[in-house]
Chains A and B, each alone.
Chain A
Amino acid sequence: MSGYDLQQVKADLDTIRTAAGISRGPARYDLLGNALVALAGLIVAGWTMLSHGFWQIWGFAAVLLPVAYLIRLRVRHRKGSGGSPEVRQEFAAAASVLALAVPFVAYALWAQRMGIPPMLVLATTIFFVGMLMLGGVISPPRRLAIAPWCLALMAGALVIPSSPLSPITVIGLMLSAGGFASACIVWMQLRKEERNGFSS
Chain B
Amino acid sequence: MASPVDFNGLNTVVHGPVRLGILTLLYLGGPLDFTALKKRLEVPDGALGSHLQKLEEEGYVKVKKEFVGKRPRSTYRLLPAGQAAFAKHLRNLKSIIDAVESAPRGH
Of the candidates B8, B17, B41, B93, the one having the most CB atoms from chain A within 10 angstroms of its own CB is B17
| B21 and A9 within 8 A (CB) | no
| A16 and B24 within 8 A (CB) | yes
> A151-188 toward B: CB 8 Å interface, digit per residue (1/0)?
00000000000000000000000000000000000000
> B28-51 toward A: CB 8 Å interface, digit per residue (1/0)?
100000000000111000000000
CA–CA, A97 to B89, complex, Å?
37
Give the interface of A toward B (CB within 8 A): 1-2, 4-6, 8-9, 11-13, 15-16, 18-20, 84-85, 89
| B41 and A19 within 8 A (CB) | yes
* A8 / chain B contacts, CB cutoff of 8 Å: 15
| B8 and A12 within 8 A (CB) | no
> Secondary structure of the A side of the interface?
helix
Contact residue among B7, B25, B40 (Cβ-Cβ distance under 8 Å from A5): B7
Cβ of B81 under 8 Å from chain A: no
**Cβ of B90 to closest chain A Cβ, rounded Å:** 8
Contact residue among A4, A13, A18, A85 (Cβ-Cβ distance under 8 Å from B10): A4
> B76-107 toward A: CB 8 Å interface, digit per residue (1/0)?
00000000000001100100110010000000
Given contacts A1-B7, A4-B7, A5-B7, contact A18 B21 (CB under 8 A): yes
Contact residue among B10, B25, B93 (Cβ-Cβ distance under 8 Å from A19): B25
Of the candidates A1, A11, A19, A20, the one having the most CB atoms from chain B within 10 angstroms of its own CB is A19
> B44-82 toward A: CB 8 Å interface, digit per residue (1/0)?
000000000000000000000000000000000000000
* B10 / chain A contacts, CB cutoff of 8 Å: 2, 4
> Secondary structure of the B side of the interface?
helix
CA–CA, A176 to B5, complex, Å?
46
Contact residue among B7, B20, B41 (Cβ-Cβ distance under 8 Å from A2): B7
* A12 / chain B contacts, CB cutoff of 8 Å: 15, 20, 89, 93
Supplied contacts A9-B97, A12-B89, 14 more A-B pairs, CB within 8 Å: A1-B3, A2-B8, A2-B10, A5-B7, A6-B5, A6-B100, A11-B17, A12-B93, A15-B17, A15-B20, A19-B40, A84-B17, A85-B41, A85-B42
* A13 / chain B contacts, CB cutoff of 8 Å: 93
* B3 / chain A contacts, CB cutoff of 8 Å: 1
| A15 and B8 within 8 A (CB) | no
* A11 / chain B contacts, CB cutoff of 8 Å: 17
CA–CA, A16 to B86, complex, Å?
10
* B93 / chain A contacts, CB cutoff of 8 Å: 9, 12-13
Given contacts A4-B7, A12-B93, contact A20 B28 (CB under 8 A): yes
